[in-house]
Amino acid sequence: MKKHKLFLVLLAGIIFVLLAVAMVAGGKEKKYDFGGRTITYATWWELKPQPGRSEREDLRLQREAEVGKEYNVKIDYLTVPWGEFTAKYITTVMAGDAMADIVSVQVCWFYPTLLMNNCCLSLSSLGVFDFDAPKFQRESIEFATLDGEVYGYEIGRIEPRGVIFFNKSMFEREGLPNLYEIFFNYEWTWDKMLEFAKKVTKDTDGDGIVDQWGIGGATGRLWGGFVFSNNAHFVDISDKWNPRFSMGDPNTLEALQAFQDFAIKHEVMLVKPEGAPYDYPVQAFLDGKLGMLCAQVWNLDKMRDNMNDEYGIVLFPMGPQMKEYTAEATGHHIRTFPVTVKNPEQVAIVEDALTEPYEVDGELRVIEEKNEEWLEMRVTDEESIRVIQMIWDKQLSVFNLQEAFGIMDIFYTLEWELEHGIKTPRAAVEEVSQEAQMRISDFLLL
């Protein structure tokens, strides 16, 4: 009798396991048919992949064909001019429509305007995306999270942005030590940058006019580098519901004072003359008249094509309040779903499949546009690639939200007053703080 009961128990267990396996197998074989709908991506640049243009685009086209067949969908792309982009996003949502199913927006458009005015769908509530998966950018997920819900994302490693370019040939001529050795040993500080800038700044032809400068920056980049490298921000969004004009904070004022001192006290900064082109410092670097340039990585194309001297890349040096390097990420984009997207679960399922890592050379990886191969075609040394790798590995990118709150005129005025010595940092900031905070608070509403 006991053997019979034991047999029945074992049989029941076997049947249970077989049913469980069948259910799992059935889940894996679950078929979707989304009725031939079109999933559209909207960007302000041309995103549509072209066959034969790059490995990344060929892989994308292959994946689109596979996913399109599996889910019965089509993939399309919409390009909207930069100046019309945010308005189109908002007006279509207000009309109960969506400009596209998946929309790539600059972080300064996403927050506060789109996010805080309920224009973006909570993606974590769909139950499709696993935002802890390695394919998602941690920086973008953290930025796009509000009250525990994720409203935006990006795939792969973040596109590198703000760096310090330095003229390797000039550094060697002036007898400066190996900057890479200093950088990788974590000895690259504001003081060290000032030391190098002083040695580089000089009158090279004896006419009494400085024609070789220590450091300069593309519009807005240099003072931003000082601020972010000192554990400070232009606008503090640690509480996204209550953004705060934070230029009066001690760390920020310390950074602004250092910025002004480089220009006025030490006279090692190339300040763009009134009426000069916006890229005046960039051109000076290309012409071999500037030792260090604070600018975005995409300027590498200009250097590769127009520069005779050798150049390299490091990150902005650390301020007194930091023990790690930072990399400003102005212009970063994240993907969102407009809140009015129809059947968003379908869009999420397709997007999740489209963004899975590719199998390349026997390993799975996400293919970015700005990768090591892209860099190798534009830099002259392996150390520059190691620097960019640090941005990715240590997640050093910091989003600059100066453009997010409609107060760029205030920032332009402050930068000009500081670099020309018109006012002290404290006086300049105090004069505009009340108006800046009022406009930031008002900008939370459409």
In a domain, 16, yes or no: no
What share of the chain has pLDDT > 90, as a percent? 82
231: pLDDT strictly greater than 50: yes
Query: Within this chain, do residues 185 and 136 fall inside the same structural domain, yes or no?
Result: no
Overall average pLDDT of the 150-167 stretch: 95
Query: Within this chain, do residues 198 and 268 fall inside the same structural domain, yes or no?
Result: yes
Q: How far apart are CA 429 and CA 28, in angstroms?
A: 60
Mean pLDDT of the chain: 92
Query: Within this chain, do residues 167 and 145 fall inside the same structural domain, yes or no?
Result: no
In a domain, 227, yes or no: yes
Count CB-CB contacts under 10 A for residue 422: 14
Tell me what pLDDT residue 29 has. Answer: 54
Tell me what pLDDT residue 264 has. Answer: 97
Nearest to 327 by CA among 386, 394, 379, 377: 394
The structure tokens listed for 297 are 């990585």
Q: At what angle do helices 221-228 and 408-419 cross, to 10 degrees?
A: 90
Overall average pLDDT of the 320-348 stretch: 97
Query: Within this chain, do residues 317 and 227 fall inside the same structural domain, yes or no?
Result: yes
> Which element (helix H / strand E) includes 416?
helix 408-419
The structure tokens listed for 443 are 């900008």
Tell me what pLDDT residue 25 has. Answer: 46
| CATH code at position 130 | 3.40.190.10
Residues 330 and 253 sit within 8 Å (Cβ to Cβ): no
Query: Within this chain, do residues 60 and 148 fall inside the same structural domain, yes or no?
Result: yes
| φ, ψ dihedrals at 399, nearest 5° | -75, 130
Overall average pLDDT of the 149-176 stretch: 96
Query: Within this chain, do residues 309 and 399 fall inside the same structural domain, yes or no?
Result: yes
The structure tokens listed for 247 are 């230029």
Nearest to 167 by CA among 271, 283, 292, 316: 292
Q: How far apart are CA 197 and CA 200, in angstroms?
A: 5
In a domain, 246, yes or no: yes
Tell me what pLDDT residue 23 has. Answer: 43
Pairing of strands 38-43, 74-79: parallel
Provide the domain limits for residue 73: 38-159+331-368
40: pLDDT strictly greater than 90: yes
Paired residues of 75 in beta bridges: 39
420: pLDDT strictly greater than 70: yes
Query: Within this chain, do residues 153 and 89 fall inside the same structural domain, yes or no?
Result: yes
Nearest to 153 by CA among 336, 369, 398: 336
In a domain, 316, yes or no: yes
CA distances from 258 to 215, 223, 255 (A): 13, 9, 5
Cis check: omega of the bond before 112, within 30 degrees of 0: yes
Tell me what pLDDT residue 9 has. Answer: 40
- Per residue in 63-103, pLDDT (tens digit) is 999 999 999 999 999 999 999 999 999 999 999 999 999 99
CA distances from 299 to 273, 286, 444 (A): 21, 10, 33
3: pLDDT strictly greater than 70: no
- pLDDT band, very low/low/confident/very high, at 8 (cuts 50, 70, 90): very low
> Which element (helix H / strand E) includes 292?
strand 290-296
In a domain, 167, yes or no: yes
Total of domains in the chain:
2
Query: Within this chain, do residues 142 and 207 fall inside the same structural domain, yes or no?
Result: no
Overall average pLDDT of the 123-141 stretch: 96
Overall average pLDDT of the 299-328 stretch: 96
Query: Within this chain, do residues 392 and 356 fall inside the same structural domain, yes or no?
Result: no
0.85 surpassed by pTM: yes
In a domain, 400, yes or no: yes
Q: What is the DSSP letter of 272?
A: P
The structure tokens listed for 101 are 């199913």
Tell me what pLDDT residue 446 has. Answer: 55
In a domain, 8, yes or no: no
Collapsed DSSP state (helix, strand, coil) of residue 291: strand
What share of the chain has pLDDT > 70, as a percent? 93
Nearest to 161 by CA among 104, 107, 234: 107
Query: Within this chain, do residues 300 and 406 fall inside the same structural domain, yes or no?
Result: yes
In a domain, 375, yes or no: no
Query: Within this chain, do residues 397 and 355 fall inside the same structural domain, yes or no?
Result: no
CA distances from 292 to 26, 211, 316 (A): 61, 14, 10
Query: Within this chain, do residues 204 and 351 fall inside the same structural domain, yes or no?
Result: no
7: pLDDT strictly greater than 70: no
